[in-house]
Amino acid sequence: MKRSLEILKFVVLLGLIAFLFSFTKKRNDARKITKLDVEFVDENSPFITYNTVNKLLIQNHDKVTSIGKETLVLKEMERRLLENPMIRDAQVYLSVDGTLGAKIEQRKPLGRVSASPDYYLDADGKKMPLSDVYSARVPIITGSSKNNFNEVTPLLLKIENDEFMKTSVVGINRKADGDLELELRKTDFKVLFGKPENIEKKFQNFKAFYKKTKQDSTLYSYNMVNLKFDNQVIATKK
């Protein structure tokens, strides 16, 4: 008898816990979202606006505070964000205080391809459309390529991480044989870079040439600087 009473108490207690949990969950789900918190985690200038992200999140709702928690599908929200061509990665979450949050990583443009229409080449070697919000100051890529110029990406990445080359290179031309030719800021000579190989060594060679010729005031007397060959710079005077 005593054992039966203990079992009955346990069943009643278990039922009460289940009821309270269900009641709490139902009340929590019925609550509205209190605010929206969008965070851009990259260091790029905004290629997509806060309002655009907001619209992608709330879809057909007038405002975020009109959305009930029970209607949220976070994975669906992430999918909509990732379909935007300016966004590389997105994480959507819901905090206990009713905040709907989104962490956005934008794509990073490294070069702008001169085409019809123009487009960016991003850090992953993929095409990225131009933004109506912000125009990136990156080298202009010209010439022709069957691979959307993604073979230029290794060079663009090295330029991005080299302060001297980043401030100097304003254009990259891909020649018919696949060699790359660099156009520099404030100089009228071309730099024949060759294939995007041994990039750091070629950078070192060019910077040594640039420093020496600038010191002896001969920098502007050349019309072509050839970096194609290992351990040497061949410069052609005007």
pLDDT in tens, 208-227: 999 999 898 888 888 999 99
More confident residue, 215 or 23: 215
Do residue 68 and residue 136 come from a single domain? no
**End-of-domain residue from the set 106, 135, 154:** 106
**End-of-domain residue from the set 73, 88, 106:** 106
**End-of-domain residue from the set 64, 91, 106:** 106
Do residue 125 and residue 232 come from a single domain? yes
Q: Using an 8 Å Cβ cutoff, are 155 and 194 in contact?
A: no
Supply the range of the domain harboring residue 60. Answer: 32-106
Q: Best-predicted range by mean pLDDT among 14-18, 126-130, 145-149? A: 126-130
Cβ-in-10-Å burial (0-12, 13-18, 19+) of 230 comes to: exposed
C-alpha R_g of the chain:
29
Please check whether residue 67 lies inside any domain of the structure. Answer: yes
User: Which range among 4-13, 17-26, 77-86, 210-219 shows the weakest confidence by mean pLDDT?
Assistant: 17-26
CA 214 and chain centroid, separation:
36
Largest CA distance in the chain: 110
> How confident is the model over 98-137, as pLDDT tens digits?
788 899 999 999 999 999 899 999 999 999 999 999 999 9
**Percentage of residues of the chain with pLDDT beyond 70:** 81
- Please tell me the number of Cα atoms within 13 Å of 220 on its side-chain side: 5
Indicate the average pLDDT of the chain: 83
Please check whether residue 9 lies inside any domain of the structure. Answer: no
